A and B are shown apart, each in its own frame.
Chain A
Amino acid sequence: MVITFSGVLTGILLTPVIGAVIILLLKKEAKEQARIIAAMSTGIALLLALFVFFGYSVDDANAVNGDGGTYFAFEDHVKWIESVGISWHLGVDGISAPMVLLTALAGFTGVLISWGIEDRTREFLAFFLLLVAGVFGVFLAVDLFVLFFFYELAIFPMYFLIVIWGWAQTRQYAAMKLTLYILVGSVVALVGILALYFKAGEATGVYSFDFVDLHAATKAGIFDTPFSSAWSAATTAKLWFPLVFLGFGVLAGVWPFHNWSPDGHVAAPTAVSMIHAGVLMKLGAFAALRVGVQLMPEGARIHLPWIVFLALINVVYGALIAMRQRDFKYVIGFSSVSHMGLVSMGFATMNLKGMTGAGLQMFSHGIMTALFFACVGMVYDRAHTRDIPSLGGFVQKMPWVAVAFIIGGLVSMGMPGLSGFVAEFPIFLGLWDGPAFEPDPNWLTGTFNYYGLIAVIAALGIIVTAAYVLRVVGQVFFGEFHAERFPYVSAITVYDKVALIILVFWLVLLGVYPRLMAPMIESGVRPIVSMLGG
């Protein structure tokens, strides 16, 4: 039964799937056709994503959310498995619209970067498109079953892509590690989703996985009642928040569950690293926000004040480890761990500035990491080593890549005028302000506001970031070029250039014109903050 159907979002989701099916039906030799079809399907998805991004109305969102509603734009809502309360419900809010654009950008540039893959091209592209479809699905889902469905769907193409086309030395280990980590996290979160579903169903009589229905239950205070009569002290939200938040947080690389991520990033082929670090980690953060913080604000108020310490460890420890790496790609891998810490930290501020910053950081870091991994891949394809000390002087051979990497590095350091500053500055501001609500007098928040202290320590992490980025730039792109080691360095292709330009363009655009995205994210964050008591 169709309730509303605009078709745009379903279109975004299905385009890569259709592309994958067509590619599988091609002949084995038709590699070029396969690439063109992949580029076309991700290109169409990108156009649709841009349409959604620019068509999203901030005023409508603020109006509906201000009236106590739950706003989603471009909704597709069709009853799917009615007896269980599952519907095919897609929609975007202020937080997910930029994420959809991010996925589309990373998907499209990923196909361009992978133009040179000759080994089983068809299968590579088909799996890649399925992965992109899975990621789209999570960002677009309003129904939590649909969200979980696509969350799981993204896992298996990921496994294939790493295990078949990854870096031969570690791919088996890394692929299995990554898959099991993510699966463990997601099934823990699933049990949490089920708990909310039954709790809300018992109280209201309507069993539904639809986020809108569950959010209504949140507003009615259903999750603030004891989960079962056996544990009268623990309300549903307090009990399940950490499991859901950290369960999804595994994919966001929250310390101490970040271990899969550097190994996974390094083992994956370039395009997959781009999706992986650029988008997939946001998937975890996004799901943790949507299911965890948004549905269980009471749990967030209790638990995020300690989870912020985990995020702090992410930021500082990730940066320090990145500093120590000899392998070019591992540096970027650990830098992702560090930057994703800032996202969780932004959530943990629980105020408008910090959470908006986190949303911006998700987009900015996504594009930036995709750019980083694209650059690393281009260097590695030609130098056949990623050992930083043995590289050097690549600016002479690959000026495009060097410039792109330096811009990415500046974003990473939070240079004003680029997207990194726009994202990180509000996070630190938000941290300094501390949570927007009057803290409960408990052992953590009651004594004194330590958020300011965390801001100071985290800012030190940014200094370390500057150090490792400059070190890599200096040693890889500048210094002496060893012509005897690298006798022939081919030029990068035009596809590579297009991909680099697209990615750099967005980093600069967002840096000089943050109004493009900030009000949108704010419109998504504002209802969350008001639920948190701000």
Chain B
Amino acid sequence: MDFSTDAQASVIAILPEILMVVLAVLVLALDLIWRRAQRDGIGYVAGFGLLGIAAIVFLVGIPPQSGELSDQLVLGGMVRHDDMAQIFRVMVLLAGGIGALITMGIPRLRARGDFYAILIVSIIGASLASAAADLIMVFLALETLSITLYVLAGYLRDDDASAEAGLKYFLFGAFASAMTLYGLSLVYGLTGKTNIYELGRLVATNGLNEPPVIIALGLVMVGFAFKISAVPFHFWTPDVYEGAPTSITAVLSTASKAASMGLLLRFLLVVFPPAELIGAAETVADYSGLWVQLAVVLSVVSMTLGNVLALVQTNIKRLLAYSTIAHAGYVLMGVAAISTDKSGDGAAAVAFYMFMYVLSNMLAFAVVILFTRATGSEQIRDLAGFSRRSPWLGLAMTLALLSLAGIPPAAGFVGKFLLFRAAVDAGLVWLALVGVANVIVGLYYYLIIVKVMYMEDSPSDEPVPVELPFKWALTISAAGVLLFGTILVTPLLNWATDAAHALYVLL
């Protein structure tokens, strides 16, 4: 297979990562150079730096327009620079940027340059994951993302909950990484290739011994299921979410999920392609039926268990953790649809959904940080009277929750609609019905939070203070949630559809 050797294209392909490395170094340098008082503003550099890079990716980092695989695979086939990579990159950069901004509201982290630098490195991993086209790059990206997040989750060392979260995440994560690595090495051993596009064709056409391929698929799925916290690999999620610093919980639930989801889409479709996509005349080994079934099972149990367990939560961070699990289930519905549906609706729905989910969750966690700081509590019941104290924050939280619940005019409605449409289109009507039932359960617990905020009285009527970085974070994410649900649906969906079409170019 030919790889592009165009130097300019190669640089543009990894421009966001190059810029992020520069940004990370800059943040570390500023941490040393700046005086203590100035260092309070270091989050602006990291936050707006990442948001700026997102804008650059969006405006400058346009992938080669020929759409040919050989033009888009650069750097010796390590990275594929296509629309799929771009849309997920913008997502994780937005998540990272907003995550850095809302970190500025946590007093113990506000002035820590090293914290922001590690955060940026973890976004580098997330950003590479969605573009990775080589087993080595897949693993490197995942590990860059994970290891930095272990550190960040346990960053508040003197806080028992945070330390526990870091350790727990690390232990579970190391186990899952090992599984993934076994899987990847099996695939490599069977085919002798590391580029996923090359080895995908070999898996399909080379008449490989079936059991090892199935084992490899299973092992890789376990690793991914852990990253996206699909049931039954979700056990770490609530504890880590609860213990980690809230801004890291936010990044964990958005950037890490989005990156893994993007990688999952590409990996499954490319390494274990449906027979028609290969188009070879000889007998083709089609493993797509298997991973579709796995995705369906994971989807059903994740959304059901996630939603049901969320019903009984009293801690807002734990509730959002279970809601994340449920959302992983919804998205897996779209993943299950990508194999039979060649029009790209499934993959486009996943990309659209993750985009809106990133913004909605960021919005929710930004409000959670403000709320926990003002009340010193993470209990849902202490949200009482929140809308009286700060009507705009109450409205922002409501918007985020409605978006997660899938109620218009928030973007979540369109996202859910597209996922159900993809599922019905792929012939999975019953899966769509399970999803629909789950949406109703979900609405119940989201509405309970809204009810507490709006209905009950608070002991204090003082407005919750909102600093400038929060205003930025809240405005960006709320505007996104609202606009991508109404007048900007089309541009985002078109982009997601382009991305989906690129995904299906395997030859």
Interface residues of A (CB under 8 A from B): 24, 80-84, 120, 123, 145, 149-150, 152-153, 155-156, 159-160, 163-164, 172, 175-176, 179-180, 183-184, 187-188, 190-191, 194-195, 197-198
Stretch of B196-204, B236-244, B418-426 contacting A (4+ beta carbons < 8 Å): B418-426
Residues of B contacting A164 with CB < 8 Å? 454-455
Q: List 22 A-B contacts (CB under 8 A).
A: A80-B489, A83-B490, A84-B421, A123-B387, A149-B409, A153-B409, A155-B407, A156-B402, A159-B450, A172-B451, A176-B451, A179-B447, A180-B444, A183-B439, A183-B443, A187-B440, A188-B436, A191-B420, A194-B420, A194-B421, A195-B424, A197-B421
Residues of A contacting B493 with CB < 8 Å? 81, 83-84
Q: How far is the CA of A111 from the CA of B31 in the complex (A)?
A: 57
Q: Does B18 have its Cβ within 8 Å of any Cβ on chain A? A: no
Q: Whole-angstrom distance from the CB of B180 to the nearest CB of chain A?
A: 34
Residues of A contacting B420 with CB < 8 Å? 190-191, 194
Query: B433 contacts A81, CB within 8 Å?
Result: no
Q: Whole-angstrom distance from the CB of B445 to the nearest CB of chain A?
A: 11
Q: For chain B, residues 4 to 22, give those with C-beta under 8 angstroms from any C-beta of chain A.
A: none
Query: A180 contacts B440, CB within 8 Å?
Result: yes
Q: For chain B, residues 374 to 433, give those with C-beta under 8 angstroms from any C-beta of chain A.
A: 387-388, 391, 395, 402, 407-409, 413-414, 417-418, 420-421, 424-425, 429, 432-433
Q: How far is the CA of A197 from the CA of B417 in the complex (A)?
A: 13
Given A82-B490, A84-B418, CB of A156 within 8 Å of CB of B436:
no
Query: B497 contacts A191, CB within 8 Å?
Result: no
Query: A149 contacts B455, CB within 8 Å?
Result: no
Q: Whole-angstrom distance from the CB of B360 to the nearest CB of chain A?
A: 15
Query: B447 contacts A176, CB within 8 Å?
Result: yes
Residues of B contacting A145 with CB < 8 Å? 417
Query: A152 contacts B489, CB within 8 Å?
Result: no
Query: A81 contacts B489, CB within 8 Å?
Result: yes
Residues of B contacting A175 with CB < 8 Å? 451
Q: Whole-angstrom distance from the CB of A79 to the nearest CB of chain B?
A: 8
Residues of B contacting A195 with CB < 8 Å? 424, 429
Q: Whole-angstrom distance from the CB of A272 to the nearest CB of chain B?
A: 15
Query: B391 contacts A123, CB within 8 Å?
Result: yes
Q: Does B38 have its Cβ within 8 Å of any Cβ on chain A? A: no
Given A172-B455, A187-B440, A191-B420, CB of A81 within 8 Å of CB of B447:
no
8 tightest CB-CB pairs across the interface, nearest first? A187-B436, A153-B408, A194-B424, A149-B408, A152-B408, A81-B490, A81-B489, A156-B407
Q: Which of B413, B424, B432, B454 contacts A152 (CB 8 A)?
A: B413
Query: B440 contacts A163, CB within 8 Å?
Result: no
Q: Whole-angstrom distance from the CB of B353 to the nearest CB of chain A?
A: 14
Q: Which residue of chain A has its CB nearest to the CB of B492? A: A81
Q: Which residue of chain A has its CB nearest to the CB of B491? A: A81
Residues of A contacting B475 with CB < 8 Å? none
Q: How far is the CA of A332 from the CA of B80 in the complex (A)?
A: 65
Residues of A contacting B293 with CB < 8 Å? none
Q: Which residue of chain A has its CB nearest to the CB of B489? A: A81
Q: How far is the CA of A280 from the CA of B289 in the complex (A)?
A: 45
Q: Mark B477-500, 1 if CB is under 8 A from A, else 0.
A: 000000000000110011001000
Q: Whole-angstrom distance from the CB of A211 to the nearest CB of chain B?
A: 17
Q: Whole-angstrom distance from the CB of A246 to the nearest CB of chain B?
A: 15
Residues of A contacting B440 with CB < 8 Å? 180, 183-184, 187
Q: How far is the CA of A80 from the CA of B418 in the complex (A)?
A: 15
Q: Is the contact region of chain A dominated by helix, strand, or loop, or is it mixed?
A: helix
Q: How far is the CA of A189 from the CA of B256 in the complex (A)?
A: 35
Q: Whole-angstrom distance from the CB of A127 to the nearest CB of chain B?
A: 10
Query: A163 contacts B424, CB within 8 Å?
Result: no
Residues of A contacting B388 with CB < 8 Å? 120
Given A163-B451, A163-B454, A172-B451, CB of A153 within 8 Å of CB of B407:
yes
Residues of B contacting A176 with CB < 8 Å? 444, 447, 451
Residues of B contacting A197 with CB < 8 Å? 421
Residues of B contacting A24 with CB < 8 Å? 395
Query: A160 contacts B454, CB within 8 Å?
Result: yes
Q: How far is the CA of A24 from the CA of B387 in the complex (A)?
A: 13
Q: Which residue of chain B has its CB nearest to the CB of A145? A: B417
Q: Which of B387, B429, B432, B490 contacts A80 (CB 8 A)?
A: B490
Q: Which residue of chain A has its CB nearest to the CB of B490? A: A81
Q: How far is the CA of A150 from the CA of B486 in the complex (A)?
A: 12
Given A81-B489, A81-B493, A149-B408, CB of A191 within 8 Å of CB of B432:
yes
Inter-chain pairs besides A152-B413, A180-B443, 4 sampled, C-beta below 8 Å: A160-B454, A163-B454, A187-B436, A194-B424
Q: How far is the CA of A197 from the CA of B433 in the complex (A)?
A: 16
Query: A149 contacts B421, CB within 8 Å?
Result: no
Q: How far is the CA of A83 from the CA of B493 in the complex (A)?
A: 8
Query: A159 contacts B447, CB within 8 Å?
Result: yes
Residues of A contacting B490 with CB < 8 Å? 80-83
Q: Whole-angstrom distance from the CB of B441 to the nearest CB of chain A?
A: 9
Q: Which residue of chain B has its CB nearest to the CB of A160? A: B454
Residues of A contacting B447 with CB < 8 Å? 159, 176, 179
Q: Which of B395, B439, B443, B454 contacts A179 (CB 8 A)?
A: B443
Residues of A contacting B413 with CB < 8 Å? 149, 152
Residues of A contacting B408 with CB < 8 Å? 149-150, 152-153
Query: A191 contacts B424, CB within 8 Å?
Result: yes
Q: How far is the CA of A466 from the CA of B215 in the complex (A)?
A: 74
Q: How far is the CA of A474 from the CA of B454 in the complex (A)?
A: 40
Q: How far is the CA of A188 from the CA of B444 in the complex (A)?
A: 17
Q: Whole-angstrom distance from the CB of A243 to the nearest CB of chain B?
A: 10
Residues of B contacting A152 with CB < 8 Å? 407-408, 413
Q: Which residue of chain B has its CB nearest to the CB of A130? A: B409
Query: B443 contacts A163, CB within 8 Å?
Result: no
Residues of B contacting A172 with CB < 8 Å? 451, 455
Q: Which residue of chain B has its CB nearest to the CB of A156? A: B407
Q: How far is the CA of A179 from the CA of B447 in the complex (A)?
A: 10
Interface centre among B413, B443, B450, B489, by most A CB within 10 Å?
B443
Q: Whole-angstrom distance from the CB of B356 to the nearest CB of chain A?
A: 14
Q: Which residue of chain B has its CB nearest to the CB of A151? A: B408
Q: Whole-angstrom distance from the CB of B190 to the nearest CB of chain A?
A: 37
Q: How far is the CA of A195 from the CA of B429 in the complex (A)?
A: 9
Q: Whole-angstrom distance from the CB of A190 to the nearest CB of chain B?
A: 7
Q: How far is the CA of A201 from the CA of B402 in the complex (A)?
A: 31
Residues of B contacting A179 with CB < 8 Å? 443, 447
Q: How far is the CA of A59 from the CA of B194 in the complex (A)?
A: 71
Q: How far is the CA of A4 from the CA of B117 in the complex (A)?
A: 53
Query: A163 contacts B489, CB within 8 Å?
Result: no
Residues of A contacting B454 with CB < 8 Å? 160, 163-164
Q: Whole-angstrom distance from the CB of A130 to the nearest CB of chain B?
A: 9
Residues of A contacting B450 with CB < 8 Å? 159-160
Q: Whole-angstrom distance from the CB of A394 to the nearest CB of chain B?
A: 32
Residues of B contacting A160 with CB < 8 Å? 450, 454
Residues of A contacting B433 with CB < 8 Å? 191
Residues of B contacting A184 with CB < 8 Å? 440
